[in-house]
Amino acid sequence: MNKRVALVLGSGGARGYAHIGVIEEIEKRGYDIACIAGCSMGAVVGGIYAAGKLEAYRNWIESLDYLDVLRLVDVSFRLGAIRGEKVFGQIRKIVGEINIEDLRIPYTAVATDLTNQQEIWFQEGCLHQAMRASAAIPSLFTPVMQGNRMLVDGGLLNPLPIVPVVSSHCDLIIAVNLNSTNQKHYTLPVIQRPPAFRSRFDNLVRSLGSHLPFRRKQAEQLLMLEQEALLAQAADINPWLDSAEPEAQQPAAAPEKAGAPKSATGSFIIDNVGPASLLDLINQSFEVMQTSLAQYKIAGYPPDILINVPKRVCRFFEFYKAPELIALGREIASDTLDRYESEQH
């Protein structure tokens, strides 16, 4: 009989695509995913999986190039840089209208209620609203209003929601932590992309951050003009040209220098790696908080298997890297499950 798994999928922005590779590896080895809990992107991927639509979702995100991702950016400065209607509208088309209680396995999405300052578990009701609320990353996606409650990303309070599955009576609890800091030997696979076009996308993200302090109407109009100009410039570019130079690997850590500052753990702090914009600053601060909270959750309720995805493999908002991140998730899950299974024999 196959072992029944309670799967916990953590938050971490674009790194959440790695959850898809993890799920594929778990199923490939014959484990039975019997229930699932997720936060932010973990709630999105977990909800889509529970609805039986993960393959369709994967086909969509792997088909997106830079230009497609740019078209999905619906600029807003009403408590978030992006409304998210285009992205979640497409997810709604893929999944359809379904309630959580009608999913094929038990499912929990975790969000944060800012009004009452508490953690919220979605275990019934509209799946789409649960995923949207759980993934309302502060500063990036606008919050979800539900009655008098303002709901945002569950990662503010619980980036790795292990507690909802503790009582599931499954054989194993497998948790996927997207905020690991000690897995430096893993790097993203490299696929060919035109660097010049990538820089244009990055410029738009920097613009989102740099205009956050401006008056909403003025900033929104300016960014919409910038987005239209970028789309017009990119219209004749094929993002998958074979002649394009491969995207550069992330630079290796700088050699240790005499007198270089160290962190509390003794590791050297690298110069010139600060945030490039206010949006980047907020997201980096959010990630630091999530990393610390995830460690507390793991210590309080240690899962049977912990799959650690390094936070440095990509930036929080690099949602155009789905193919690489899915492959990386599969690789890390394979290595982790190999170690676990070898210890069982």
Give me the residue label for tokens 């959850």.
19
Pairwise CA distance, residues 325 & 306, whole Å: 18
Asked whether the beta carbons of 320 and 12 are under 8 A apart, the reply is no
8-state DSSP, 29: T
3-state secondary structure of 257: coil
Record the tokens describing residue 10, joined without a space: 């953590």
Asked whether the beta carbons of 40 and 12 are under 8 A apart, the reply is yes
Q: Which residues pair with 112 in a beta bridge?
A: 119, 152
Asked whether the beta carbons of 136 and 111 are under 8 A apart, the reply is yes
> How many Cβ atoms from other residues are within 10 Å of residue 309's Cβ?
27
61, 171, 175, 325 from 321: Cα distances, Å:
9, 33, 22, 6
Q: Has 32 been annotated as catalytic?
A: no
Catalytic residue among 40, 134, 168, 207: 40
Backbone torsion region of residue 120, taken as left when φ is above 0, otherwise alpha when ψ lies between -120 and 50, otherwise beta = beta
Pairwise CA distance, residues 165 & 36, whole Å: 7
Q: Has 280 been annotated as catalytic?
A: no
Catalytic residue among 153, 168, 180, 207: 153
Query: E-strand spans in 124-271?
Result: 144-146, 149-153, 172-180
Asked whether the beta carbons of 73 and 204 are under 8 A apart, the reply is yes
φ, ψ of residue 74 in degrees (nearest 5): -100, 100
By annotation, the residues acting in catalysis are 40, 153
